[in-house]
Structure 1
C-alpha cells in the first residue's frame, strides 16, 4: 500500500492469487507548484540531531486490546537479528555513503528552504493557483453517510474522480480529512479501497466486490475507513492519485515489450506448474493488468526522471490539488484539515503535511522507518513513490515527517511489518521523539507500536479516529 501492502487475497482476488515472490506490491511498486507561496513560513531553523535512545517507554499495542499509555512496555532492549541472506558488503557500502553525506541534509534549515529543496528533488510541478470548482456527478445517502461524487482536472491526464463523505443529514461546518489510499499493487482502484459508494462495497468494470472486500479484509480489517470516519462526524475527501483508478495509465499505453515480458512470465509459470504435475492456475485479465502495471513502473519512473519530475512528485501534486478542493468545499471548517493513510498512503501523508501548512494533523500507518531500515534488504519491496532519487539529501524519512515539529502527528508502527527492519522503526521513533522535543512540542508527537503485520487493524483505526477528533477539536 506503499509504499505498502501487497494486493488482496482470496479466491476472487485477481492480485491475491499471485505467488508472494512475484506479487506486484505497493512496497514492490509504488504507494504520493511548490506550495511555498500558499504555505505559512515557520520562523527560525528546525534543528536536527542524531537519533538518541528514547528514555521513555515505547507503547506496544496488541491486536485486540490496545494498552493505555500507563501500560507502556519497553521493548527496545530486544535483540532483533537481521533476516538471513543480507549482503554485509552492501550494508558496509551504504554505511560509508551515509557517512560521506552526513550534514548535507537540508532538513535542519528553515521550513521554506527545506520545502523548496524537497519540491526540487521530487520534481513537484506547478499546479493551478485557483483550481476550477469540481464537477458534481451524483449524490447518495447510505449507511449513515451522505456522499457526493466529484471530478476535477489536474491539467494533464485523465480527470481525478473523488468522493466527499459527510455524516448523513449534517449540514454544518465539519472538521476535514484527506483519506489517502495505499499502493498495494492494486492500481485498478484507488478511493474504493477506503470508502463505500452508493451501492455499498464498490465494484468497477475490472474489480469485483469480492476482490475489493478481500483486499480490505487483509489490510483494513474489512472496513471502509473513510466511511467510518465520516460517520464519526468528519468531512472526508478520498480521491484517486496519479497511477490509480481514474488516474491509472491504461494497459494499451504501456510499451509492447512489457506486454511480452508479462506474457513470458505467465507462460513460465504455467510451464513450471506442468513440470510439477500441477494444474496451471488461471490468470484473469485483472491479474495480468496488475502485473503489467508493475512491470511498467520502473520504466515510468525513469522517463519521469528524465523529464525532471518523479512518481512521488506527481502523486504529491495530485494530493495538493485535492487539498485545494477540500479546503474550498462548503461545510469544511477553516483551519481544521488533516490527512492520513496506510503504507503508501502514509508516505503521501508525510509529504503532504511537510509541504502545506493547511494540514493541521497527520496520521501515518505502517510507513515509518529510517532509510537504513529500508535499504538493509527491503528496497525491492518498496515503490518508486517512496524511494525517490536524492531524497536522503533533503533528510531522512523521520526528518521529513517532523519538518513541522508542532504539528500533531500520530505514527502507528506495525511490530511484525515485513517491509521494514524493527530497528529502523525504533530508530525512527527515537528520531521523531527527539526532534519534537528539541524543535517543537514533544506532546504533539505520538508513536504507538502494535503487534500486527503490514496492515491497519480495526483497533488501530479506532485509535486514529479518536486521536484525530482530539487533535482538531
Structure 2
C-alpha cells in the first residue's frame, strides 16, 4: 500500500494508533481519582444545578450547554449547497455537496438515496467517528462514485482496513440509504475537508513527533526487531493528535471549544439536510459510533428537529471514564465544564420522549463496564420519569470498541420504526 508521493510501504491492517496507554505507578492517586477532590467537585456541581436536579427548563439547559461549549452562531442558509458530482452505484444515488461554514475550508458531504427514488424519505445524519484517523471523515461511512474511496493521502486499502476493524468492513451510510433513507454524511471540523493542514501546526509538534518515531525505531532495533515503517499519512495523524491539546487551548482563548465547533458544523449539516429536496422534515435522525455517538448526543440534545438518535459504543458516566479511561478520549468528548451541565447519560436523556438507541460494547477498551451499566440505569430512570420508558432502548453486545454488522442491522431496523 502507498499513501501519496514517496510513501513507504506498510501492511494495510496496521493502522498506527494515535495514543498509547502508559501505566503510571504511584503511591498517590491521580487528581481525577482522589476521593476528596471528587466529593468536592460533586458538591459544586449539585449546587450549580445539573440536569435532573429540578433546576431549569430545557431551554435553560440548552443555554448552559451552548455557553459551556462556546457554541458560536451559524450562518443562515441563503442558497442550496453547491452540487459537485452525481453518481449511481450499487443501488445508491449519490451527490457530493459543498457549503461554507463561515470560516476555514468549505465542508464537503455526500447525500445518498436509494437509486431511482424520488419521493420524500426519512433523513438521517451519519456522524463519523474520531478514531485517531482525521485525514478522512465522510469516507469512513460511505462509498463514493468509485466505491471504496481514496484521497491524495489515504489509499483504498488503508480506508478498508479501518472499516474492517471498526465497521465490520461495511459502508454503513450507503447500507442505510439502500434501505430507504436519505443519508447525509459530512466532514466535521477537524476531519477531511475541515482538517487543520500539517503546515499550520507548530514546528515543536513536528519535532516532538519525529523524536517519538525515532525512539520507536531505536527501541525496535534494541529488541532485535525490524524497525516499523511509518507512512507520511500515519505521521500526519500523530502530528494531529499531538496538536489537539494546543488546538483546544487556542479555541478556549477564542471562547469556544473543539466540541463546540464540531457541534456547530453538525448543526449546519442538519440545516442542509432539512432543506434538501425529498427529505421529510418530520422524520430526521442521527447516529454515530464512538466520537460520532458523542456528536449524536449533543446534536439531539440541542435541536428538536432530531426525532431519533443512535449512540454506538459511546455511553458511560463521566465517573466511569475517570476510572482509567480519560487518557483514551479526545477533547471533542471531554470538553471542559461539560460535566457541570450534566452527567453524560443525563445529557443523552435531556429530551426523554426522544427515541434513543444506545448500543453498549461490553469489551470496549475505551469505557469500563461499570460505567456503562450505571449509564444504562440513569437513562432507564430518566425515560421512566419522563413518562416514555419505551422510547429508550439499551442493548449490550459482546464486542470490543467497534460496530459489528449485527449491531448495524439492529440500528437500521430500529431507525425504520422510529422514523416511520
**Match of residue 329 from structure 1:** 276
RMSD: 1.7
**Match of residue 12 from structure 1:** 12
**Match of residue 363 from structure 1:** 310
Matched, 1:260 2:260: no
Alpha-carbon contact 1:106-1:117 (below 8 Å) kept: no
Alpha-carbon contact 2:15-2:162 (below 8 Å) kept: no
**Match of residue 84 from structure 2:** 137
- 2: CA distance between counterparts of 1:254 and 1:298? 12
For the residue of structure 1 that corresponds to 2:396, the secondary structure is strand
**Match of residue 45 from structure 1:** none
Once the two structures are superposed, the pairs formed by residues 74-473 of structure 1 within 5 Å of their partners are 88=29, 90=31, 91=33, 92-101=35-44, 102-108=46-52, 109-473=56-420
TM-score normalised to structure 1 length: 0.83
- 1: CA distance between counterparts of 2:363 and 2:27? 18
For the residue of structure 1 that corresponds to 2:212, the secondary structure is helix
For the residue of structure 2 that corresponds to 1:260, the secondary structure is helix
Alpha-carbon contact 1:105-1:392 (below 8 Å) kept: no
- 2: CA distance between counterparts of 1:201 and 1:341? 19
Q: Deviations over 1:125-148 (max 9, x none)?
A: 000133432100010000000000
- Structure with the greater relative contact order (CA < 8 A, sep ≥ 6): 1 or 2? 1
- 1: CA distance between counterparts of 2:353 and 2:174? 28
Alpha-carbon contact 1:86-1:376 (below 8 Å) kept: no
The alpha carbon displacement at 1:84 in A equals: 10
Give 1 or 2: higher helix fraction.
2
Consecutive unaligned residues in structure 2, runs of 5 or more:
1-9
Structure-2 change in CA distance of 1:213 and 1:87 (3 Å): farther
- 2: CA distance between counterparts of 1:105 and 1:397? 15
Structure-2 change in CA distance of 1:258 and 1:89 (3 Å): closer
The alpha carbon displacement at 1:271 in A equals: 1.2
- 2: CA distance between counterparts of 1:146 and 1:86? 60
Q: Deviations over 1:10-69 (max 9, x none)?
A: 8125xx353xxxx215x99xxxxxxxxxxxxxxxxxxxxxxxxxxxxxxxxxxxxxxxxx
Q: Deviations over 1:221-244 (max 9, x none)?
A: 000000000000000000000000
